[in-house]
Amino acid sequence: MTTYQLEVIENTAKKDKPAQDQIPFGQTFTDHMYIMEYQTDKGWHEPKIVPYGPISLDPAAMIFHYGQTVFEGMKAYHTEDGRVLLFRPEKNFERLNLSSERLSIPPIDEDLALEHLKQLIKLEKDWVPKTPGTSLYIRPYIISTDANLAVGPSSTYKYMVILSPVGSYFPGGLQPVVIHVEDKFTRAVKGGTGMAKTAGNYSSGYQAQANAKKEGNADVLWLDGVEKRYIEEVGSMNIFFKIDGEVFTPELNGSILKGITRMSIIELLNSWGIPVTEKRMAIDELYEAYQAGKVEEVFGTGTAAVISPVGELNWQGQKMIINNHEIGELSQKLYDTITGIQTGKVEDTLDWTVEIN
Ligand SMILES: *Cc1c(COP(=O)(O)O)cnc(C)c1O
């Protein structure tokens, strides 16, 4: 392995920390950030921790024009006994490289990225909030930086990590959400970029989300782009169903994002002796099961909320009310167990957490 000397330039002008009970998502950043450069002849080099602040880019930088960029989302949690834990961070770096491969971005060294992330968080330990439900959101990302309008992969990149303390997703406890089943717009198709965490996948969903919000929905459930029949996922969450006592989730087909929470829920349920069937799921078949009174629980899964119970699905003017708009027993148990593991309250028997020390 190439050796990289991490340079640390400490910020002497530290900011005030926000009040922990009401931190809006993604608007407050810590005192430092991480940057590493890529150049074709040098590979990834010059890793640095520097004071948080604006960066300078050429107006022709490729990221502004053709969107060659990838990102990750993960969290650090404070335990009651004062430790700071990451949740399966190696899976995020593995996925970052998968996304990069799809976007023709050179891979980073996953072990090095984790090691440097730990050093960054160690320096920012006081920024990891302690109030129950809060955490430090971690945003690693890569941008293409060549000043060049020719369509094609950049020869220079920046890999960066910024950190943002975040409040509880559900300050008043788990709240079931209303979701619109989208049958006009498409998020992703097989062979496209749906399995990558890349910028354009998100901005292309805004129109559908805005329309859904006007009608009182919190988000949209995407269907497959070809037949508009098979269930894919919600805005930034995978989706699970408990139908007639069995747990189902759409199978990964190349257009669905491979969620680490999704993977963890499948593994956790398996460890409890509850099988999860990953398969192609048609929305009309879900509706039939609903009419037969068999749909017991629906929940979204992702780093932001961990579990987001779905209380209502709106599909072509038909309403599916799930579990009387109440949180299902399994949803609650999964939420309590995973957040318990993340914050050190529940024993980490599956060896998922990584301590910062
Ligand atoms: C990030 C993301 C998810 C959830 O992934 P986690 O690793 O569980 O946070 C699901 N769908 C999309 C589209 C996402 O961007």
For residue range 61-119, list pLDDT tens digits in order.
Answer: 999 999 999 999 999 999 999 999 999 999 999 999 999 999 999 999 999 999 999 99
Residue 60 in any domain: the answer is yes
Residue 39 in any domain: the answer is yes
Residue 245 in any domain: the answer is yes
Please determine, for residue 166, whether its predicted confidence score (pLDDT) is greater than 90. Answer: yes
Compute the mean pLDDT over every residue in the chain, rounded to the nearest whole number.
Answer: 95
SS3 304: coil
For residue range 224-242, list pLDDT tens digits in order.
Answer: 999 999 999 999 999 999 9
Q: Tell me how many domains the chain contains.
A: 2
Q: Cα of 237 to ligand 1 centre, how many Å? A: 5
Domain check: are 154 and 198 in the same one?
A: no
Domain check: are 157 and 237 in the same one?
A: no
Candidate from 257, 260, 301 with most ligand 1 atoms within 8 A of CB, to mutate: 257
Q: What is the span of the domain harbouring residue 155?
A: 7-166
The full DSSP string for 214-241 is HTT-SEEEEE-TTTS-BEEEETTBEEEE
SS3 25: coil
Domain check: are 141 and 188 in the same one?
A: no
131/78 Cα distance (integer angstroms): 9
Q: Cα of 312 to ligand 1 centre, how many Å? A: 21
**pLDDT (average), residues 48-55:** 98
Q: Cα of 58 to ligand 1 centre, how many Å? A: 31
For residue range 72-83, list pLDDT tens digits in order.
Answer: 999 999 999 999
Domain check: are 210 and 270 in the same one?
A: yes
Candidate from 94, 189, 238 with most ligand 1 atoms within 8 A of CB, to mutate: 238
Where does ligand 1 bind, in terms of residues with CB under 6 Å?
A: 73, 197, 233, 236-238, 257, 259-262, 301-303
17/28 Cα distance (integer angstroms): 9
pTM of the model as a whole: 0.96
Please determine, for residue 1, whether its predicted confidence score (pLDDT) is greater than 60. Answer: no
Domain check: are 232 and 157 in the same one?
A: no
Domain check: are 152 and 235 in the same one?
A: no
Of 115, 146, 166, which residue constitutes the final position of a domain? 166
Residue 91 in any domain: the answer is yes
**pLDDT (average), residues 315-333:** 97
Domain check: are 321 and 228 in the same one?
A: yes
Please determine, for residue 173, whether its predicted confidence score (pLDDT) is greater than 80. Answer: no
For residue range 341-356, list pLDDT tens digits in order.
Answer: 999 999 999 999 999 9
187/144 Cα distance (integer angstroms): 23
The full DSSP string for 110-166 is HHHHHHHHHHHHHHTGGGS--STT-EEEEEEEEEE--B--SSS--SEEEEEEEEEEE
Domain check: are 256 and 283 in the same one?
A: yes
Residue 36 in any domain: the answer is yes
Residue 287 in any domain: the answer is yes
Domain check: are 136 and 193 in the same one?
A: no
pLDDT at 34: 98
Domain check: are 222 and 279 in the same one?
A: yes
Domain check: are 143 and 210 in the same one?
A: no
DSSP 8-state symbol, 183? S
Q: What percent of the chain has pLDDT over 90?
A: 92
Q: Cα of 257 to ligand 1 centre, how many Å? A: 6
Residue 274 in any domain: the answer is yes
pLDDT at 174: 83
pLDDT at 19: 85
| CATH classification of the domain holding 194 | 3.20.10.10
Residue 352 in any domain: the answer is no
Higher pLDDT, 325 or 2: 325
Q: Cα of 353 to ligand 1 centre, how many Å? A: 19
Domain check: are 128 and 269 in the same one?
A: no
Residues 6+ apart with CB under 8 A from 203: none
**pLDDT (average), residues 144-169:** 96
Banded pLDDT at 2 (limits 50, 70, 90)? low
Of 166, 193, 213, which residue constitutes the final position of a domain? 166
Of 117, 137, 166, which residue constitutes the final position of a domain? 166
